[in-house]
A and B are shown apart, each in its own frame.
Chain A
Amino acid sequence: MNVAVVYIRMRNRVQVNGNQAVRIKDIARIIGPEDEIRMIEDILLLTVKKEDRSIIVVDLAQVIMAIRKVDPGVEVETFGPSQTIIEIILTKKKMSFLTFALVWFLLFIGGAMTIMNFHVDVSMGEVHQKIFTIITGKVEEKPLLIQIPYSFGLGMGMILFFNHFFKKRFNEEPSPLEVEMFNYQQDLDRYVTMNENKENVRHLDDR
Chain B
Amino acid sequence: MMTGRIIFGIFAGLAGGFATGAGFVAFLTVLGVIPRLTQLTKTMKMIHYYEGAIIAGVVAGTWFGLQETEFFLPQVLLIPIGLADGIFNGMLAAALTEVLNVFPVLSKRIGIQEKIIYLLMALVLGKIAGSLFQWIYFVDM
A contacts, CB < 8 Å to B:
93, 95, 99-100, 103-105, 107-116, 118-119, 125, 128, 130-137, 142-164, 166-167, 170-171, 173, 176-177, 180-181, 183-185
Contact = CB atoms under 8 A, between A and B. Distances in A.
Contact of B127 (A115, A132, A135, A180): A115
A95 B79 contact: no
Contacts of A150: 82-83, 85-86, 89, 131, 135
Contact of A135 (B65, B73, B131): B73
Contact of A144 (B68, B115, B136): B136
Interface in B72-121: 72-75, 77-95, 100-101, 103-108, 110-112, 115-121
B130 A112 contact: yes
Contacts of A185: 104
Given A130-B65, A153-B82, A107 B123 contact: yes
A176 B79 CA distance: 29
B125 A108 contact: yes
19 contacts: A107-B119, A111-B125, A115-B126, A116-B130, A119-B134, A131-B78, A142-B139, A145-B79, A148-B132, A149-B82, A149-B83, A151-B131, A166-B118, A176-B36, A176-B95, A177-B120, A180-B100, A180-B101, A184-B108
B104 A151 contact: no
B85 A146 contact: yes
Contacts of A176: 36, 95, 100
Interface in B33-58: 33, 36, 39-40
Given A156-B87, A180-B100, 9 more contacts: A108-B125, A134-B69, A137-B71, A137-B72, A149-B78, A149-B79, A149-B86, A154-B86, A160-B87
Nearest to B113: A181
B40 A170 contact: yes
A148 B78 CA distance: 10
A192 to B, nearest CB: 13
B124 interface: yes
A134 B64 contact: yes
Contacts of A135: 71, 73, 75, 77-78, 81
B134 A153 contact: no
Given A133-B70, A150-B83, A158-B94, A100 B112 contact: yes
